[in-house]
Structure 1
Amino acid sequence: MSTELAVPNAAFAVELARHGDRPAVLTADRTVTYRELAGRVEAVAARLGPVRRLVALAAANDLDSLVGYLAALAGGHPLLLVPAGRPAALDPLVAAYDPDVVLRSGSGEVLLEERRPGSRHELHPDLALLLSTSGSTGSPKLVRLSHENLQSNAESIAQYLRIGPEDRAATTLPLHYCYGLSVVNSHLLRGAGLVLTDLSVVDPCFWELFRDRGATSFAAVPYTFELLERVGFAEMDLPGLRYVTQAGGRLGPEAVRRWAELGRRRGWELFVMYGATEATARMAYLPPHLAAERPGTIGVPIPGGSFRIDPVEGSADGELVYTGPNVMLGYAESPADLATGRELEELRTGDLARRHPDGLYEVVGRRSRFVKIVGLRVDLGRVEQLLAELGVTAAAAGSDERLVVALEGEHDARLLAKALAGDLGLPRAALEMHAVERLPRLATGKVDYPGVLSLAPERPAAPAPRPDRAEGPADVKRIFAEVLDRPDVDDDDTFVSLGGDSLSYVAASVRLEQALGHLPPDWHVTPVGELAPRPARRARRVLSFLETGVVLRAVAIVCVVSAHVELFTLQTAHVLFALAGYNFARFQLAGERLPRLKRQLRSLGRIVVPSVAFIAFAWVVTDDYTLANVVLLNGMVGPQELTSQWHFWFVEMLVYVLVAVTVLMAVPWADRAERRFPLAFSLGLVAVGLLSRYDLVDPGLPKPAPVFWLFALGWAAARSRTVLQRGLVSAVVLLSVPGYFDSTLREATVAAGVLLLLWVPALPVPAGLRRLTGSLAGASLCIYLTHWLVYPALVPVSPVLAVAVSLVAGVAYWALSTRALDGLRRRSGSRARRPVASV
């Protein structure tokens, strides 16, 4: 069936060219003007043809998806938005609605799959867009939106946010989600810019892009604010930030007040908003100047909209009803509904609300059985229906944090939870299932839903470790949960956002490599949901690839012990200083300044405690050491000549450097400078360290530790993002290392170690040595400590035996120290469970 193209009235999609050469889209490596964007849109609209057809777009946060979206609107073709990431043929909405054309992103162009030359659908002239209801999945029910809906809501949002041509919004939400889409529409309407990215807010690269591209705003759902707290957003220097918007679920009043006050101090505004896909996006907003004083309200209707409250029998509060030009045409549950015109003039929200004398509205409860989790609206009745279709009698309850399901009878709750989470599109951590003999019921015989919710008063603990079993793809969350003792691991979490540091990354990286069959670049800032195994089935592997830092640490400690035993001489201790700086920058600089300081001090304690304990033991049982060694002050008080009292110089220098940088990063201006100019800041530290390296400091003045420049070089290596930056740091390495040592081989070893950190993310090791390599790397500090007492008695017997026993003794002390510290933490009520520090 073919129809004449309607003249669309979504002006923001049709009139792009009127904004001329203003920047429309800004990515990490390019800027597209409105004129260029209009040309791309016109080209794709021409490819869609003169016949009005149903178009499906597998939308990602990229330029091709944006062009495809605008081309369909500008050409008058009704558009079905589905998330990218799976073949279109497998998407349940594509299967249910059978679009005539499928668009998806290509390599710099929009790929068009034409299923038929015309259309098999009857399409109403007003129909412009089809979206899942508030992001919910597992149901063919869609919201039908018109061009007028899109245009009017974009105009309302642009008006109350005061969006102007100089504004630039970072795309923190998916394009297929109505909230994320409203950001796009409202900014294009005003000729503003879109900083287009799919990076998470926990990724340092996101904030680097945000600053570099002059972004002025971003959108957040409640979960986003949890992530922002983890990455130290409150202390970030974001001079261009004008406002932050919040929707996608209720943010608690205390959180609203706290974030609003932070914005007031830092010079940006918080807009708390209320809406639904059925209203295109927004229905209400809370003026920023009222956010701190009235954080429990949703504010006032958006321009052009209005509320009324209808009485509800048996309730002191009534149902909130919205009227405005952005109210949807109606729902679609099958392709036949696409021919239907407007069925609604107002939207009954299902929310119980009250109006305050000052005109502000407050939502106090829900009339219908829906919950919104991580921005996705979940129909509890639909959950029960899905399980009933599987022959399971169930009752579902929930909050805006989690979904709890009671299963009547004996069922595999774990298997059903996995299947249901996939159907609903929810993170597995947000879903809890409990098998019960009988569903909890009230005296009337109705299901006791509060009783269902009470089945899960606390989050379940992480599964017990099973080190004897090979890890599989489904174990990625379990690895993070066990290594970091975080049972709440979600798909959007990363190693860094979960609090991982240089003392836990060895165990995590070794186990991830086994689970995934490879070690992805930047795995520590990659969301858990994106840490996928290689698609090919893995055969028995001869080689494993471990992170370069893990391999270097293991090899270096073996070389250190072997050099002292005089089995062979390859001096690598200074490589470990560069590695310490590399890991400090990767794992110890995330989060707010004060919580981060506490974490840094805890990490420092995991170095100091086992070191002091063992050196005290050595002091008691031998005559080689002094009290200055025990308190790690021999480097300061002497003796200056090399004696056995200098055995622990490495530990002392490492502690001195870590104390210095911890104190430095506690200073607000230093923290802001590092966040804003990460590479320049680290190179500045290198320059400071080189003053000592080249002895350029006046003898009467304090100077950095002689190894500080190597620590700073490792820091700079971690902050190098591009080939040019890595090349710059490589040049500094090649210019500064030669001439420092009295051995060309030693200089080459140190330079090679830093260059490997810069350029090679993972190194191969024999598969059979993977766990051994990880153990040696994790125990490297303890090996360094214990070998001084172990090898002297064994060298006369066999140097090889002396090395081997030294390594075993160090690993044993590592295990003992770990167990002892775990016991102390349990007795003190601490939940932290981390491996003992590694060099």
Structure 2
Amino acid sequence: MTHHPEQFPGTAPVSFVRDLAVHGDRTALITAGGELSYRDLAARVSAAARRLGPRRRLVLLAGANTVDSLVAYLAALAGGHPLLLVPGGSPGTLRSMIGAYDPDVVIRPVDGRWPVEERHAAPAHELHPDLALLLSTSGSTGSPKLVRLSHGNLQSNAESIARYLDIRATDRAATTLPLHYCYGLSVVNSHLLSGAGLVLTDLSVADTCFWDLFRDSRATTFAAVPYTFDLLDRVGFAHMRLPHLRYLTQAGGRLAPDRVARYAALGRRDGWDLFVMYGQTEATARMAYLPPELAESRPEAIGVPVPGGSFRLRPLPGLPGDDSAGDTGELVYTGPNVMLGYAETPADLARGRTTRELRTGDIARRAPDGLYEVVGRHSRFAKILGLRIDPQQVEAVLGRHGVDAFCAGSDDGLAVAVTAGTDPGRVRRLVADECGLPPRAVHVRAYPELPRLATGKPDYRAVRALVPAPGGNTAERGGPAERRPSARREPARPADLCALYAEILDRDDVTEDSSFTGLGGDSLSYVEMSVRLEEALGRLPGDWHTRSIRELTAAAPAPRRAGRRRALETGVALRAVAIVLIAGSHIPLFLVQGGAHILLGVAGYNFARFHLTAAARPERVRRLGRSMAYIAVPSVVWITGAVLFADGYDPENILLLNSVVGTHEGRQEWHYWFVESLLYILVLLAAVLAVPALDRAERRFPFGFPLALTALALVTRYNLPGFDLRAPHLTALVVFWLFALGWAAARAGTAGQRLLLTAVVLATVPGLFPAGDGQALRTAVAMTGLTLLIWVRNLPSLGPLNRVAGLLAHSSLYIYLTHFQVYPLLKEHSALLALIASLAVGVAYATVVTHLTRRLPALLRRRGWPAPPPGGKSRESGEIEGSGQPRPLGPGTGTGRPEASTPVAA
């Protein structure tokens, strides 16, 4: 056997440490301060191993994501010294472990240096030759109970992980998890074994500097625990450009299946893989993984055993889920990475292998497709009032109702911790109904943040400790007033915003972690929501619709005094102004045309914001189809009345086919060209997004895709094929490029991209309209509106003006539909009165349509018909999508309130 120069005879080598120098000048470590090659790393490890001395001793290391800490870790392995690895940021844990195990050597940071503290010149304990590493078990940081791992455990698990992840020498992994955590340590081991690079950092994924380092170092992967995905959602990970990202790994606890599927779809869109993994410290890290190609279709599974490992299911009679077929039971793992055993005192360090297989404590089933699924936790079962309760299943049930919770059981009752803003009474009723427990046995308490360990895992001990004893009622009421977030008088309380979201979106599952887009909000509800939120919070951030309620309230400025200046979103302002210009010019009270063409750009802008989410392709197409129906149906109803009771319209107007088969003999036939063009464009885009390759292209190139469509649309903008077009500027073929421009404007993230779109506007809008008086102004109006859409996200405004603009923008589709029949009745008497009446009738029609829309599901159910689907699971946020009924995209549908906008357009 070949030993590392500092390896003690009789101890097994860890090959990936011994072979560091084999990788030569390849980059091993990347930090904010520079890079270190494998050759230099090997030299530093060898020097550090020599400093540990000639006798094999127990070394305690304060783990940290630094070069010095990593070198000390590798040096101990290289020299064969058993290493006790503890959290470097926990002085209490350091003191506890030093007191419990009396290590011979302690390495921890002192004034920026990492000295080797000699506590015993000779080993104070007998150390088994196979012992390489001691780690705390999950959830037991600071406890004297440790997992004993061998050199062979570390080597075999690193090899197994490197194999199924296909880690390459060109990969570079960012250290998003601490070194003392077995998952974070496995990332280090597997990448060093493969000659890959490590981007060594302790920055959080919530830190902008982390992503700067990630891009600059051309990192290809990072590891995530479930809580990491909360942070990724908050920082807008779905919209980041990470050109070198190759795969993302997840472990450290169960990730909700809908979120697994959503991130797998996101990876498919952007060209990277998601590996969902399952493991425990007792297995050195990993026991199973889900092949990434199955993550979308089987997100609830943990997958298959890692290479070299195997599972069996130990029968557990009497437990829920047990069946005679033998495909459900406690999951038991066997493999070369199974620990030697536990240590609870220094005397245990002399023991050899005491564990041959690992009983995980998880209840699992083997599905017909061969994948394993964890369905419960044996060790977490509680017997409450004679009933066996699985807290993990309770968490899953609450998750399906939109409640994020940690549950823990005891003999006295079931403890449920939820986030602030959640109704404890509702949670208690849900749990009691699901478990068959009396409500008095379910203790619910809300906290600003769910209790977690340093690793991000749930802190179930804290859940048990913090929930009051049975018989108390403070938990059910939400705790003492001084501990309830809602007890303080604040400018905007999360509970108030939850109620506002529930009202406007017609939802009963709103929580503080809900976002507007995650709840299925679209342009129909966008206007009212933005106006009402702006009143409650003050100035809104540009991406408010993707932020959670919790984030919005946390970032809200102090309340404004009445009459002080507010902001109005440019899209909302353009819709309000455009519909007034359209109606006023048709009367004519004035002649300022171009508003309808601005609305087409706004329609494309809203389409990108509310329909091109991270939802799966079929769900995208379904939502778009529902939105088209909610534009077409009210339009057809009104136009049918116009054909029957007014002059100048033909049956093809009812079918929205005038621009295709109409006789084109009268001006009135073209009144509804905007609705026709909008629907034709949406039908085309639904067909485009239904094609998997094009759907993937749009997700991967969010700006380039609409820019390419804009370029293609210029072919018909200039009618290069030579179609016989009676009114080119009113035809979908010609004006589609405006919709694509608005789409691209929503995706433009840099000044260069906005400059490019501005150049396109300046070059292509002139010449669109037929020559004649007022067409120069029409061109200028359209160019100004589109340029504002590209560059300006908010305009200065006042509260009352916001409410009026919101009302008009929300109702803009209906004003457009109805004003053609309203203003002729009054224009000869008063053009201004005709305009006011046109706006009022459109608002009234919007109110009627929205009222019927909201009542439709209940009416259908009463008549025994299937109600319209409320929407599926949002693949963007993991929350329920849709608002109870489909909502349009365009120029405006609504309630009589300044609700939300148009189907797509307005």
Q: TM-score range by the shorter chain?
A: 0.5 to 0.7
CA contact (8 A) 2:137 2:146 kept: yes
Question: Separation in 1 of the partners of 2:751 and 2:621?
Answer: 31
- Aligned counterpart for 1:191 among listed residues 192, 195, 216: 195
Aligned ranges for residues 791-806 of structure 1 at < 5 Å?
791-806=823-838
CA contact (8 A) 1:515 1:533 kept: no
For residues 403-444 of structure 1, what are the alpha-carbon distances to aligned partners after superposition, in whole Å with 9 as ceiling and x for unaligned?
979686599x77x244684579899xxx9xxx9xx99xxxxx
| Partner in structure 2 of residue 543 of structure 1 | 565
Partners of 2:429 and 2:133 lie apart in 1 by: 34
Residue correspondences, number:
723
Q: Which shows bigger deviation, 163-172 or 622-631?
A: 163-172
Q: Which residue in 1 is equivalent to 2:332?
A: 320
Question: Please, which of 247, 267, 275 is the counterpart of residue 279 of structure 2?
Answer: 275
Q: Which residue of 2 aligns with 1:534?
A: 555
Name which of 668, 673, 682 aligns with 2:706.
Answer: 682
Following TM superposition, by how much is the alpha carbon of 1:387 offset from its aligned partner in structure 2, in angstroms? 8.0
| Rg (Cα) greater in structure | 2
Match of 1:245 among 275, 292, 307: 275
Query: Which of 605, 609, 617 is the equivalent residue of 1:586?
Result: 609
Write the letter of the residue equivalent to 2:854.
Answer: D
Gap change, CA 1:228 and 1:321, over 3 Å in 2: closer
- Secondary structure in structure 1 of the residue aligned to 2:160: helix
8 Å Cα contact 2:569-2:793 kept in structure 1: yes
Taking the TM superposition and a 5 Å limit, the aligned residue runs for 1:625-664 are: 625-640=649-664, 643-664=667-688
- Aligned counterparts of 2:440 and 2:70: Cα–Cα separation in 1: 51
- How far residue 212 of structure 1 moved from its aligned partner, in angstroms, is 2.6
Q: 1:152 to 1:204 in 2, by over 3 A?
A: same
In the alignment, structure 1 residue 749 sits paired with structure 2 residue 803: no
**C-alpha displacement of 1:155:** 3.4
Shift of 1:489: 5.7
Q: What do the CA deviations read for 1:609-631 (whole angstroms, capped 9, x no partner)?
A: 11111222233333243322222
2:219 is the counterpart of 1:215: no
CA deviations on 1:95-134 (whole Å, 9 max, x unpaired) are: 887999xxxxxxxxxxx99699999999999998977837
In structure 1, list runs of 5 or more residues that go unmatched. Answer: 1-5, 58-64, 83-87, 101-111, 248-273, 440-468
Hey, what does 1:620 align to over in structure 2? 644
1:133 lines up with 2:138 in the alignment: yes
Q: Matches of residues 695-706 of structure 1 in structure 2 within 5 Å?
A: 695-699=719-723, 705-706=733-734
Q: 1:759 and 2:786 equivalent?
A: no
Instruction: Give the match for residue 519 of structure 1.
Output: 540
Partner of 2:756: 728
Instruction: Tell me: CA distance 1:376–1:531, structure 2 relative to 1, closer, same or farther (3 Å).
Output: same
Q: Is the 8 A contact 2:680 2:732 kept in 1?
A: no
Structure 1 residues 306, 586: closer, same or farther in 2, change over 3 A?
Answer: closer
CA distance in 2, matches of 1:73, 1:403: 48
Change in 2 beyond 3 A, CA 1:647/1:299:
closer
Give me the identity figure in percent. Answer: 41
1:651 Cα deviation after fit: 1.5
Matched, 1:165 2:179: no
**Residues 716-746 of structure 1, C-alpha deviation per residue, up to 9 Å, x if partnerless?**
2223233333332222222222333463433
Aligned to 2:101: none
Aligned to 2:486: none
Residues 1:349 and 2:374 aligned together = no
What's 1:107 paired with?
none
Measured at CA, do residues 314 and 576 of structure 1 come closer, stay the same or move farther in structure 2, by a change above 3 Å?
A: closer
Q: Please give the alpha-carbon distance, in whole angstroms, between the structure 1 residues aligned to 2:553 and 2:38.
A: 36
Contact 2:172/2:196, CA 8 A, preserved across alignment: yes
User: Which residue, out of 812, 818, 824, partners 1:780?
Assistant: 812
Deviates more, 1:112-121 or 1:317-326: 112-121
Report the more deviating stretch, 629-638 or 125-134.
Answer: 125-134
Q: How does 1:317-466 map to 2 (within 5 A)?
A: 320=332, 327=339, 345-346=354-355, 348-351=359-362, 366-369=377-380, 371-372=391-392, 379-381=408-410, 409=440, 416-418=445-447, 421=450
SS in 1 for 2:766: coil
- Name the SS for the 1:705 alignment partner: helix
CA root-mean-square deviation: 6.0
Paired AA for residue 648 in structure 1: Y
Secondary structure in structure 1 of the residue aligned to 2:795: strand
Are residues 176 and 209 of structure 1, via their aligned partners in 2, closer, same or farther at CA, if it must alter by over 3 Å? farther
Q: Is the 8 A contact 1:320 1:348 kept in 2?
A: yes
Q: State the alpha-carbon separation in 2 of the partners of residues 297 and 290 from structure 1.
A: 10
Residue 234 of structure 1 deviates from its aligned partner by 9.4
Q: 1 CA distance for matches of 2:701 and 2:570? A: 25
User: Whole-Å Cα distance in 2 between the matches of residues 771 and 121 of structure 1?
Assistant: 72
Displacement of 1:766? 1.1
Unmatched tracts of structure 2, length 5 or more: 1-6, 53-58, 77-82, 98-108, 198-218, 223-227, 382-390, 397-403, 418-423, 472-489, 861-865, 871-883, 888-892, 894-901
- CA distance in structure 1 between the partners assigned to 2:811 and 2:580 by the alignment: 11
Deviation at 1:711, TM superposition (A): 0.7
CA distance in 1, matches of 2:286, 2:715: 58
Report if the CA contact (8 A) 2:601-2:740 is conserved.
yes
Q: In 1, distance between residues paired with 2:247 and 2:665?
A: 58
Determine if the alignment matches structure 1 residue 790 to structure 2 residue 799. Answer: no
Kept after mapping to 2: 8 A contact 1:556/1:573: yes
Q: Is the 8 A contact 1:353 1:362 kept in 2?
A: yes
Distance (Å, rounded) in 1 between the aligned partners of 2:620 and 2:660: 28
> Which of 558, 564, 575 does residue 586 from structure 2 map onto?
564
1:172, 1:78 → 2: CA distance? 21
Instruction: Please state whether the residue corresponding to 1:133 is helix, strand or coil.
Output: coil
CA contact (8 A) 2:86 2:93 kept: no
